[in-house]
Copies of this chain bind each other. A is one copy, B any other.
Amino acid sequence: MKNSIRFFCASSLLAVSLSCIASDFRLVSPDGELAFEIGVDSQGKPFYSVNLKNLPVISNSALGLKADEFVIADGLEMNVVATDSVDSSWSPVWGEFESVRNHYNEALLNFCDRNGLQFNLRVRLFDDGLGFRYEVPEQKNVNYVTLRDELTEFNLPADMTMYVIPGDYDSDEFLYTISPLSRLREAMPNPKHSESSRILGLAVQTPMLMKHPSRPLYVNIHEAALVGYPAMALDVNPESMSLSSHLTPDKTGVKAYLQVPFVSPWRTLIITENAPDMLASQLIYNLNEPCAIEDTSWIKPQKFMGVWWEMFTGGKTWAYSDKYNAKPGITDYAALSSNGRHPANTANVKRYIDFAAANNIPALLVEGWNEGWEDWAGYKKNRQFIFDKPYPDFALDSLVQYAADRNVKLIMHHETAGNAADYERQLDDAFRFMKKHGYDAVKTGYVGHIIPRSEYHSSQWMVDHYNHVVSKAADYGIMVDSHEAVRPTGMMRTYPNWVAQESARGGEYESFGGNPPYHTALIPFTRLKGGPMDYTPGLFEPDLAKYGKGNTSRGLTTLARQLALYLTMPSPLQMLCDLPENYQRFPDAFQFLKDVPVEWSDSRYLEAEPAEYITVARKDKNSADWYVGSITDDQPRTATVDLSFLPKGESYEATIYQDGDDADFRTNPQSYKISSRKVNEKTKLKIKVAPGGGFAIRLKKN
């Protein structure tokens, strides 16, 4: 993964000369279509703009840094330090492509004032967008930096259509608002999650998507390689059509503690003329550092089931007992009696293991296995959970063995209740415990307000925390699937053991009122640009009222759509979220979930429009088979599946899992039909998709 080939071609690269005198400067993408212009105005304030095919994408926008120790924002002179051009490729451990091309032109610009205060800006232009970051070099009189503000702006050239969730320091589990920028203030709802710390004023989170009102232009703003820095949200000014950086502070108001030299994360703009190209972009991964793990053979993409959904359907508990004030590590749990509603018990877990083994599902997550779930104080206590004390009805060692005998791995669960400090206190012990007992993957959770109490989920200290956990997990040979952690920024390239994150409104919300169909047709354009999501698809029984346990939520999906999500929401860790008995009710549809892989060598986005529809084809990394998935929003449509990507002259057996003719996510979600036919590269399938529906196709090479 380190086969980058660097060459220098200043003459072809630069539209202006490389003089080191302050001047406006223009950098273009390898295909020459995308241009980044930068300079300083008459007050020495830096500004930049971005154009695609000579039409504006970002109009003149400020740059700068503000700290207790300095303000570097005006009185600046710009100099070009260096330029470069790179065309290399790298092979991800997992992902949508076997090989990713990393092709960009780069410039390093210095902005310096009369006192020698300075930052560099490194800019990389790809054909599908760009990244730039602040690089603060060693300089006179500055060592520590108590960062108060990053002054980066993204001024927009038109009343863009915004696809955004509200800015919040602690949560991102929201539905998206889709609105013209000019009406966003009125359109944005204010639903707070229990752990919300909403940004005052109008603000949105990244990754966010924008669409031009009249031109073919899609722009995603996010960041790449979030290391040692707080996550960035964006303040929105609809009147001036301006977005500006809003870094997550700690609770004392400081954005970041830094020491020179340092670099900021990349501020990324994925810029495409059509929606499929946006979905295919690997720009954010390209801006991350290469893999830091030497031997990655232990990182195993996989599907998994979970002793989990039972707690959402109603009546069941993560807790073993009803002793509301039991304390992990102190209370003698063996002396407590089970509440009889605890699915993480040995007999039930064995049932899941048997089911997984019978269906070649290689892993099983068990939640509620450890002491501490009886109460939920979160922020109000200094120890909520303990990570090496199984409940008395969870025979850990014998279950691990029972699973191993059936080629199933148990997945560990570390819910921290937001107490990252206590998790770090226990981390080595917890990981040692995992390895000693044969676990090699963990789902982490941060439900609740954060301890240390000075921190938010997205503040600098917590960013360091998540990265530390993943890095330490790599030392132990452990894969991590983090929930309620800061939104991903492509760090999985560097730490491919970070196999998935939640960091958005996931499938669990089907049990809390449902995810409207547009949601899963949108998050591949937004949240997923940062990295794969543990969305937990595979819901076969969307009507939770059927359990008669008081939960009357309805999943807003057809059954066939759930199959398609394994293609439209690619992840190396992919849950089959539903209960075994629900899969047993639909064995023919379940066959697709048994077949669908989680590692891909190629991906083709056939058609897409944000929040409306996505159709994607992917090639299995370990066979010649292809798979297709397609979803729509709440409107029916007919998808076109042009199979011209298939190798010429080869014949494939297509098994098509699609909505029944009378299917509708509101009224008849479990109507589906399965058909087979021979296809080849000349085939163009027209497939009807029900409202809230979808389809999945397996293309097995004959």
Interface residues of A (CB under 8 A from B): 138, 143-144, 146, 228, 250-252, 257-261, 324-325, 327, 375, 377, 380-382, 421, 424-425, 427-429, 451-455, 460-461, 464, 468
Closest partner residue, chain B, to A262 (CB atom): B327
State whether B259 touches A375 (Cβ < 8 A): yes
Closest partner residue, chain B, to A251 (CB atom): B454
Residues of B within 8 A of A468 (CB): 425
Bound form: Cα–Cα A468–B425 in Å? 8
Cross-chain contact of A252 among B375, B453, B460 (Cβ < 8 A): B453
Known contacts A257-B382, A461-B421; A143/B325 CB under 8 A: yes
State whether A257 touches B454 (Cβ < 8 A): no
Residues of B within 8 A of A261 (CB): 325
State whether A382 touches B464 (Cβ < 8 A): yes
- CB proximity of A223 to chain B, nearest CB, Å: 19
- CB proximity of A464 to chain B, nearest CB, Å: 6
Cross-chain contact of A424 among B327, B375, B424 (Cβ < 8 A): B424
The 20 listed contacts between A and B (C-beta, < 8 Å) are: A143-B324, A143-B375, A144-B375, A144-B377, A144-B380, A228-B382, A251-B252, A251-B453, A257-B377, A257-B382, A259-B327, A259-B375, A259-B381, A260-B325, A382-B461, A421-B424, A424-B424, A427-B428, A452-B453, A452-B454
Top 9 nearest A-B pairs (CB, nearest first) are A452-B452, A428-B428, A454-B454, A453-B454, A144-B380, A144-B377, A143-B325, A424-B424, A257-B381
Closest partner residue, chain B, to A69 (CB atom): B380
- CB proximity of A168 to chain B, nearest CB, Å: 20
Residues of B within 8 A of A460 (CB): 382
Closest partner residue, chain B, to A374 (CB atom): B143
- CB proximity of A371 to chain B, nearest CB, Å: 14
Residues of B within 8 A of A424 (CB): 421, 424-425
Residues of B within 8 A of A146 (CB): 380
State whether B381 touches A144 (Cβ < 8 A): yes
Bound form: Cα–Cα A599–B213 in Å? 83
- CB proximity of A551 to chain B, nearest CB, Å: 25
State whether A325 touches B382 (Cβ < 8 A): no
Bound form: Cα–Cα A143–B375 in Å? 9
Residues of B within 8 A of A461 (CB): 382, 421, 451-452
- CB proximity of A532 to chain B, nearest CB, Å: 26
State whether B452 touches A257 (Cβ < 8 A): no
Closest partner residue, chain B, to A138 (CB atom): B325
State whether A452 touches B421 (Cβ < 8 A): yes
- CB proximity of A374 to chain B, nearest CB, Å: 10
- CB proximity of A227 to chain B, nearest CB, Å: 12
Further contacts, 8 of them, CB under 8 A, given A138-B325, A257-B381, A452-B454: A143-B324, A228-B382, A257-B380, A257-B382, A259-B377, A382-B461, A452-B455, A454-B454
Bound form: Cα–Cα A67–B642 in Å? 67
Bound form: Cα–Cα A454–B259 in Å? 21
Bound form: Cα–Cα A30–B137 in Å? 71
Residues of B within 8 A of A260 (CB): 325
Closest partner residue, chain B, to A143 (CB atom): B325
Bound form: Cα–Cα A542–B536 in Å? 70
Residues of B within 8 A of A377 (CB): 143-144, 257, 259
Residues of B within 8 A of A228 (CB): 382
State whether B250 touches A453 (Cβ < 8 A): yes
